Structure 1
Amino acid sequence: MSWFQKRGLKQVILNVLKDHEMTGSQIIDEVERLTLGMWRPSPGSIYPALDQLEQDGLLKISRVEGWKKYYELTKKGREELGKSEGGGVNDVVSQLEFVIRYLIENSDKIDPKQKIKINQLIDELRNSLS
């Protein structure tokens, strides 16, 4: 189970929608991209979560094009997102720990190009902390 899954799908959705509106399908694709292809939430988990977030007043349907519904955060959703982001550096370090442990457990699934990118980020972090 990834850091994203441990944090909860609803929280992940709020984070994904913080910059712009998206459809459910786009949210699925974005979560997959953010996890380097290691987690792709199913439609059976995304759409009920979107419905619940809408009922909770944390997001709304911003527009509908044919069968496509576009979701965006409400003011309440942005406030909720701000609460979860308010942990500062200590919260980020905890999140980083989960991500690193997940990458270690799934290192055999990481694309070689992504491994290079990860190593570059590790070097940058190491240099900045020296």
Structure 2
Amino acid sequence: MLRLLETEPMHGYQIVSSIEERTAGAWKPSPGAIYPTLSQLEDEGLITIERENGRKVATLTTTGREYIETALADAPDPFAGFDGGSAERGHLRETLRELHEVTRRVARTGDPEQTAAVDTILGDAIKQVYLLLAGVDRTPPAAADTVTESADPDDEQ
């Protein structure tokens, strides 16, 4: 939020919209995340909040600007990397939305056996994603290349 307010004073809805726009829709914070944070930043003296045209507008204070220049000087741009690849992220979001929807359906209407099976499937998926992030080879082992000998000694003749 401080990075956004560095460019111009904003009200809460503008902050939500700016974050959504700068993250190519990957994150749209809720008002429940924005307004308490603004209050905290105000309590810390980093911003001031004043009413303008019926809206509470947040503005960086001198202390807030100094904080950005010192404490955040080496911090990476929180919005970097959202300009490319948004189609892939959009596809992943859609996949997660569908997964959430079908999981809720099983939770509402599935029998205990189905619910347990989905729990196992999702647990395995979580493990696989962690292995992927850790760089672990998740390729299933290839079939043995060796020829299995017959258990019947007469077959060897």
State the TM-score, normalized to the length of structure 2.
0.49
> What is the CA distance between 1:84 and its match in structure 2?
3.9
Question: Kindly, what percent of the aligned residue pairs are identical?
Answer: 36
DSSP 3-state at the match of 2:7:
coil
Within 5 Å, give how 1:1-130 maps onto structure 2. 13-66=1-54, 68-87=55-74, 92=76, 106=89, 108=91
In structure 2, do the counterparts of structure 1 residues 99 and 32 end up closer, same or farther at CA, with 3 Å as the change threshold?
closer
Q: Judging changes above 3 Å, is the alpha-carbon distance between structure 1 residues 50 and 38 closer, same or farther for their aligned structure 2 residues? A: same
Counterparts of 1:57 and 1:85 in 2: how far apart (Å)?
16
Q: Give how far 1:83 is off.
A: 1.9
Alignment RMSD (CA, Å): 3.1
- Aligned partner of 1:120 in structure 2 is none
Structure (1 or 2) with the larger CA radius of gyration:
2
Q: CA deviation at 1:92?
A: 4.4
Letter of the aligned partner of 1:30 in structure 2?
S
Which runs of 5 or more residues in structure 2 are unaligned?
94-157
Gaps of 5+ in 1: 1-12, 111-130
Return closer, same or farther for 1:92/1:58 CA change in 2, 3 Å cut-off.
closer
Change (3 A) 1:92 1:24: closer
Q: Match for residue 129 of structure 2?
A: none
TM-score (norm 1): 0.58
